[in-house]
Amino acid sequence: MELKVWVDGVQRVVCGLSKETSCQDVVIALAQAIGQTGRYVLVQKLRDTERQLVADECPLESLSKLGQLSSEVQFILRRTGPTTSEECVSILRVQVSFY
């Protein structure tokens, strides 16, 4: 499965997701793909409401719970700060492919 995410005003597509793929997996894959280190959050936007997803939340599961409204959802990658050395290690464990 795939997830469309807006990154710096450009829509990116993260492929190879499953219902078990976490928000953290998606964020790491996107950060690697754009070559930017830092702290990021994935935001789910529905109409005028934004909600920050937590690291272990599954974006595809979140979408499926919205039913017909899921077609109106936008996901946005938002940078929140610099990277700590601990986070650099976790980047090596990504299993999500990006196209």
Give tens-digit pLDDT for 10-29.
999 998 998 899 999 999 88
Share of the chain above pLDDT 90, in %: 57
List the CATH number of the domain containing 24: 3.10.20.90
pLDDT band at residue 94 under the 50/70/90 scheme = very low
CB 98 within 8 A of CB 3: no
pTM, full prediction:
0.79
Q: Report whether 97 contacts 26 (CB < 8 A).
A: no
Q: For 33-38, what is the mean pLDDT?
A: 82
Q: How far apart are CA 69 and CA 75, in angstroms?
A: 13
Q: How many domains does the chain have?
A: 1
Domain span including residue 94: 2-98
Between CA 48 and CA 95 the distance in angstroms is 32
Rg (CA), the chain: 13
**Distance of alpha carbon 77 from the chain centroid:** 6
The burial of 91, by beta-carbon neighbours within 10 Å (0-12 exposed, 13-18 middle, 19 or more buried), is given as middle
pLDDT at 84 over 80: no
CA distance 81 to 72: 28
